[in-house]
Structure 1
Amino acid sequence: MNEQLLIWFQSPLLWVVALLLGAVFLFMQNKLHMDVIALLVMLLFCLSGILSLDEVFAGFSDPNVILIALLFIVGEGLVRTGVAYQVSEWLMKVANNSEIKVLILLMLAVAGLGSFMSSTGVVAIFIPVVLMICQQMNISPKRLMMPLSVAGLISGMMTLIATAPNLVVNAELARIDNLRFSFFSFTPIGLTILVIGIFYMLLVRRWLSSSTEDLKQKQKRDSITDLIEEYQLHQRTKRFVVKSNSQFIGHAVEDLHLRSNYGLNILAIERWKHFRPLFIAASLGKTEIKEKDILLIDVANPDLDLSAFCHLYHLEPTEIRNTHFNEQLKSVGMVEITPVPDSVAIGRSAAELRFRSNYGLNVIGIKRNGELLQGHLVEEPYKLGDQLLVIGDWKLIRKLPDRTKDFFVLDYPSEIERAVPARSQSMHAILSVVTMVVLMVSGVVPNVVAALIACLMLGKFRCIDAKSAYDSIHWASLILIVGMMPFSIALQKTGGVDLVVNFMINTVGNMGKHWILISLFILCAVVGLFISNTATAILMAPIAINMAHQLNLSPVPFAMTVAIAASAAFMTPISSPVNTMVLGPGGYKFGDFIKIGVPFTILVMLVTVFLVPVLFPF
């Protein structure tokens, strides 16, 4: 008896199960970062000798891991070019600032796109969109990130090519019984689950955040709106359209001498190009004015007769809306700076420092001892403690600390996170993403190659640079995925999966048809907690088909159940890369996925078990 206990205690399977339970326990404790736990798992597998070094570190060469990293870069490219922001604006506009409508449209859009391309790719693209929507609506990302991942997983249930498990199960069905699913065999089930999923997320999203958490999401820094009010820009800033007979046409801004002659300061030029507005703030002094340009001008001289000025130079005043600054400041920014003690700026004015020529930025406001200065600010000498509000291109604002030691940036406004440094390249970004989607749908090249092509295109078109590309990758998420991959190899290598599967066959083989499907679904869901959904499908598809043969039933409903169950990876953040990707941006804990995912998985199981036999009779 002691010898049997010793043999059992030395069994590699026992140590794999113990390590697995220990990792899950640490995840639920939420005291260590999940990527740190994953690295500890890899270390213990190495030291135990259960897996070889190649098996432990296999995840670093897995194409799916590389694909996820590349798709983070694609998502960043959409942010930097403003495409993601435009999508969020469209969703906001259609939803009329309603969180309910945003959630519904978001889940429909993600599920629809994910039906024809990688759900991982769709979720990676929509993560920045959701973050921007949450920022605009001032709600916690927790309330929309989970619906995003749920819709991404449901998209795998929509079509045959939506996810790898569907193709794996279909291939196994064809190999054994020469039967195949059609392209839209999954669609009725997927649509039903999507509708249920939308209603479910509308009900349970309140579980994901409290009023206290929502308050923490509010911006701590001043916003652009705050700065506009503090410096009373609405009272001083005007917009003028350049008429066809204006003397300004064909002249550079600096050649007009508007600041010295009239106390007027051109802050930006709005020029329509390719049916959308282009805001010019960088190198403004050298910019040549054209017909129909809209000039955003700071009127620093309160005594100027604007009507006479417009009549003289053939300009037409136009309305400035309350939201105009926020719309323009996607590409043009503001920041407060102050002179550094003993700098050459003390006692000198913007004109003497040639501030606009040297830094590409305009000084549009000065606060001294808490009071706003009025008059011709360009000629006002600076004193120690002055707060200067400058406006210009976001890229130049970011570079200001590196270009001068005479001024110190007090604090960047919260909108800097929504800056669009490559706005003019938005069409190229869309072309890159469309190319990737077409390549993925057509299957001409592997998904990872399609994503790599898209990233190279984004770089070629200057939609993204090397630094922003590397910074956009969520390395902690990748390490978590790589660190959990050895469990899949270990469970198969030590016979753990086979042991569980054989037990299930002996237990439920004589039960009713629906109970057999329930058992299949539960087993797939449990196995899918620890290994990838593709591996789950590979292991379970032949078992399900063989069970159907032993019971003299059609294998099609059994195979479909396995395919749907493999995609129903809602219960933990490590069940699917889709969940892992929203873990950090959503600020979730391990328990959040259990709380939301387990009840929904049960709902999906009930829909599958009762709908599949109707569509695919036994």
Structure 2
Amino acid sequence: MSIADSSLVFLLLGATLVAFVWGRFRYDLVALAALLASVMLGLVPAEQAFMGFGHPAVVTVAAVLVLSRGFERSGVVDAIADQVLKVGDRLFLQLAALTGTVVVLSGFMNNVGALALLLPVAMRLAREHDTSPSLLLMPLAFGSLLGGLTTLIGTPPNIIIASYRSSVTGESFGLFSFSPVGVVVALAGLAFILLLGWRLVPQRAGKASTEEMFDTSNYLVEARVDENSKALGWTLRELQRELEDTIPVLAVVRDDHRQAGHAFLGTLREGDILLLEAGPEEMKQLEDKTGLVVGIDPEESSEEDEEPSAEGDAKQSKTDKKPRATGVDTEGLELVEAVVRNDSMMINRTVTQLRLQNQFGLHLVAVARDGSRLKQRLHKIRFRPGDVLLMQGGESELSESLTTLGCLPLANRNLSIGQPRMLMISLAIFALAILAILFELLPAAVALTSAALVSLLVGVLSLRDGYQAIDGPVIVLLAAMLPVGNALETSGGAAMIAEGLLNLGKQWPVIVTLVTLFVITMLLSNIINNAAAAVLMAPIAASLAEGFEASLDPFLMVVAVSASCAFLTPIGHQSNTLVLGPGGYRFGDYWKLGLPISLLVLAVGMPMILWVWPL
């Protein structure tokens, strides 16, 4: 291609990076737009535009996601988590158990999946032992990134780099080719976190429970339907339509019998008591628009009669007017905390746009951001990644609805060992796939996809669960960015960047250029998806290796390790974003622990790379 094509590639990639950093549009949409733009500009042939969807790296990532969900469904991870919960109240042991476990799990399953499975366990540990979850969650997230370095299937950048090597040399990296470097780096990082690093994590007090984070009891009010109420004879849907707001009705009390709001399908009668989540403005609306008589706030009721509910998610109280319980407890109400994932369909949308109640059967009760409850009107809140939501819904629908919405439940989870038969089958299927890869009987993509298929056929997980396990946005991101990354190489853009680095480093040892490559890739991975960083930097690394007439492998390994070093910001990796809300962190909290770990990975990883993969 011509210099003009190289310039177009740089302009397109610059615009793509700006869009990634801006965050207004989800990263998969940005990547897809970049792909289509590259086709229209003639940088990618139209017939090759969608070949990325069949690329071995993309197929491998999808298969690993399905297998990870199979581990969850069969009880493999629950059996491990059940042991983690027994560590006691010493912070060091809690950190060692949680972070050590996620490091190991992340080597053999998707690291985001490993974190998602242990996040509820960490929250439960924090609540049971009165530990600030902020001390546990950032180490847990960073541990998942470190664990992903240890094997081919631990993180998408490793899969991408192995696939790129195959396209250049005809031979891919093996399953454990990353282990000599990855294991040493992961152990060094784990030791640093346990001995010193946890002290650099900000301690946010009082965020371990729903009651403390959301302070729900301060917003619970009773509203009574009397003979003059406009709402007499209305359904709850008609009530909310009249209010033009999402004021959650948590329960309806009729004749001393309480029914959860999501399950109440009848019309309101005189004497009904509604238990609502409402602030001062909403209370005025209730009286003005519906004629409901706002009663005594449970927080202000007689302190002598007030007692905590069984699960502590809200407070139960009795009024002086009637001899009946009107407060909230979780029985029948199914209040659940959930964190909004990076790929959630809720991002930048409101409750009204999502039609949470009508389409998903969920009431939004409260939203917490940066560890504090948002005080603005619920229907005006546009959700962001990392927001923690308090929602109410039917027990049978909650799990499926949260999965569809792209939320990770944080509520206490009853761990079970699962079916022993399926547990063993799941492990056996995975072990056979690993052996097939190790003995080079099958390529990784074929072996892991076969294992995923067998898991579905034998019932380790349902077909529906298998499809839900595939992270669509990540798949689209990879499939779209691979041709764009290839355009960077074929246009000569990668060679131009490499030539610039070569000219700067003529008087320096090669290791200085390798360190520069490491730092550039690491910084890039902290502002865009780490898989995208690997896609873009791999051809530059190959051009540098060619320019220095050195081995390709150490340059590719530098990209693989540094692309997974997204420790500086909450937006660089999904693991970091997932703990943002539950941990009560702020954007600037991450670099305090992340920078020392990044420097440690550089200091430990670079000598190991040059020792295992000499120039």
TM-score range, shorter chain: 0.5 to 0.7
Contact 2:558 2:606 in 1 (8 A): no
Counting matched residue pairs gives 431
Question: 1:465 aligns to what?
Answer: 462
CA shift digits 1:408-432 (9 cap, x unpaired): x974398696576964633333333
**Tell me, what secondary structure is at the counterpart of 1:155?**
coil
Equivalent in 437, 454, 458 of residue 434 of structure 2: 437
Contact kept in structure 1, 2:494 and 2:539, CA below 8 Å: no
1:87 aligns with 2:80: yes
Q: Distance in 2 between matches of 1:158 and 1:191?
A: 17
Counterpart in the other structure of 1:475: 472
Q: Could you tell me which runs of 5 or more consecutive residues in structure 1 were left unpaired when the two chains were aligned.
A: 1-6, 223-334, 343-366, 373-386, 392-408, 550-554
Task: Tell me how far apart the structure 1 counterparts of residues 92 and 68 of structure 2 sit (CA, whole Å).
Answer: 24
Residues 411 and 25 of structure 1, relative CA distance in 2, 3 Å threshold: same
Q: Closer, same or farther in 2 for the Cα pair 1:168/1:428, shift >3 Å?
A: closer
Asked if the contact 1:73–1:455 (Cα under 8 Å) also holds between the matched residues in 2, the reply is yes
RMSD: 5.6
Match of residue 96, structure 1, among 68, 78, 88 = 88
Instruction: Judge conservation of contact 2:542–2:556 (CA < 8 Å) in 1.
Output: yes
Distance 2:215 2:62 in 1: 30
Specify the code of the residue in structure 1 equivalent to 2:36. L
Separation in 1, partners of 2:123, 2:79: 14
TM-score of the two chains, using structure 2 as the length reference: 0.54
Q: Pick the aligned partner of 2:150 from 118, 135, 155.
A: 155
How far did 1:62 drift?
1.8
Q: 1:590 to 1:45 in 2, by over 3 A?
A: farther
Aligned partners of 2:161, 2:476: CA distance in 1, in Å?
A: 26
Structure 1 residue 205: Cα displacement: 8.8
**CA displacement, residues 159-197 of structure 1 (integer Å, 9 cap, x when unaligned):** 9xx95688789999999xxxx99x889737851563145
Aligned to 2:44: 51
Alignment gaps of 5+ in structure 2:
128-132, 217-259, 268-316, 335-391, 399-408
Instruction: Give the residue type in structure 2 aligned to 1:16.
Output: V
Q: Give the CA deviation at 1:86.
A: 1.6
Q: How far apart are the structure 1 equivalents of 2:594 and 2:485?
A: 21
**Which digits, 9 at most, give the CA deviation of each residue in 1:126-178, with x for residues without a partner?**
2342223234235369525532442134315999xx95688789999999xxx
- The match for 1:194 among 179, 187, 191 is 187
Identify the residue that residue 28 of structure 1 maps to in structure 2: 21
Structure 1 equivalent of residue 452 of structure 2: 455
Residues 1:47 and 1:544: Cα distance change in structure 2 (over 3 Å): closer
In the alignment, the residues of structure 1 paired with residue 438 and residue 589 of structure 2 have an alpha-carbon distance, to the nearest angstrom, of 30
- SS, match of residue 50 in structure 1: coil
1:77 is aligned to: 70
1:422 and 1:462 in contact (8 A); partners too: no
Out of 129, 133, 141, which is 2:117 matched to? 129
Describe how 1:405-416 pairs up with structure 2 within 5 A: 411-412=394-395
Residue 378 of structure 1 corresponds to: none
TM-score, with structure 1 as normaliser: 0.54
In structure 2, the residue corresponding to 1:511 is in which secondary structure? coil
1:605 is displaced (CA, Å) by: 2.8
Return closer, same or farther for 1:87/1:97 CA change in 2, 3 Å cut-off: farther
Rounded to whole Å, the distance in 2 between the matches of 1:592 and 1:340 is 47
Which structure has the bigger radius of gyration?
1
User: Structure 1 515/475 Cα, relative in aligned 2: closer, same or farther at 3 Å?
Assistant: closer
Specify the SS of the correspondent of 1:42. helix
**Which whole-Å deviations, capped at 9, do the CAs of 1:87-140 have from their partners, x for residues lacking one?**
1122232x43555444444554555567xxxx4735255234222323423536
**Contact 2:207–2:213 under 8 Å retained in 1:** no
Whole-Å separation in 1 of the counterparts to 2:568 and 2:475: 11
Of residues 564, 569, 573, the one that matches 2:563 is: 569
How far did residue 488 of structure 1 move? 0.7
Q: Give the alignment of 1:504-515 within 5 angstroms.
A: 504-512=501-509, 514-515=511-512
Amino acid at match of 2:563: A
Superposed CA deviations along residues 387-439 of structure 1, whole A, max 9, x for unmatched, are 99699xxxxxxxxxxxxxxxxx9743986965769646333333333333333
For residues 446 and 96 of structure 2, the distance between their equivalents in structure 1, rounded to whole angstroms, comes to 32
CA distance in 2, matches of 1:338, 1:193: 48
> For residue 451 of structure 1, what is the amino acid of its counterpart?
L
Q: Aligned with 1:568: secondary structure?
A: helix
| CA 1:186–1:217: 2 relative to 1, 3 Å | farther
Q: What is residue 250 of structure 2 aligned with on the other side?
A: none
Is 1:40 the equivalent of 2:37?
Answer: no
The residue number in structure 1 matching 2:402 is none
| Structure-1 separation of matches of 2:94 and 2:115 | 14
User: Judging changes above 3 Å, is the alpha-carbon distance between structure 1 residues 191 and 149 closer, same or farther for their aligned structure 2 residues?
Assistant: same
1:489 counterpart SS class: helix
Contact 1:67 1:448 in 2 (8 A): yes
Cα distance, 1:559–1:442 mapped onto 2, change above 3 Å: closer
Q: In structure 1, what is the equivalent of residue 500 of structure 2?
A: 503
8 Å CA contact 2:39–2:45 kept in 1: the answer is: yes
1:45-444 equivalence runs, <5 A? 45-93=38-86, 95-96=87-88, 100-109=92-101, 111=103, 119=107, 121-123=109-111, 126-137=114-125, 138=127, 139=133, 143-144=138-139, 146-156=141-151, 163=158, 187=180, 190-192=183-185, 194-196=187-189, 198-200=191-193, 203=197, 210=204, 341=266, 371=324, 411-412=394-395, 423=419, 425-444=422-441
State the Cα deviation string for residues 481-520 of structure 1 (Å, max 9, x = none). 3333333122112211101111222221222465354345
Q: d(CA) in 2 for partners of 1:217 and 1:16?
A: 52
For the residues of structure 1 that align with 2:51 and 2:178, how far apart are their CA atoms? Answer: 34
For 2:226, the equivalent position in structure 1 comes to none
Question: Would the alpha carbon gap of residues 564 and 130 (structure 1) be closer, same or farther in structure 2, given more than 3 Å must change?
Answer: same
Aligned-partner Cα distance in 1 for 2:103–2:599:
20
Contact 2:263 2:394 in 1 (8 A): no
Q: 8 Å contact 2:565–2:598 — kept in the other structure?
A: yes
Q: Which position in structure 1 is the counterpart of 2:309?
A: none
- Amino acid in the other structure paired with 2:490: K
How big is the shift at 1:541? 5.0
Q: 1:70 to 1:512 in 2, by over 3 A?
A: closer
Deviation digits for residues 363-389 of structure 1 (CA, Å, limit 9, x no counterpart): xxxx998858xxxxxxxxxxxxxx996
Q: Give the letter aligned to residue 136 of structure 1.
A: R
Change (3 A) 1:189 1:219: closer
C-alpha distance in 1, partners of 2:412/2:531?
Answer: 40
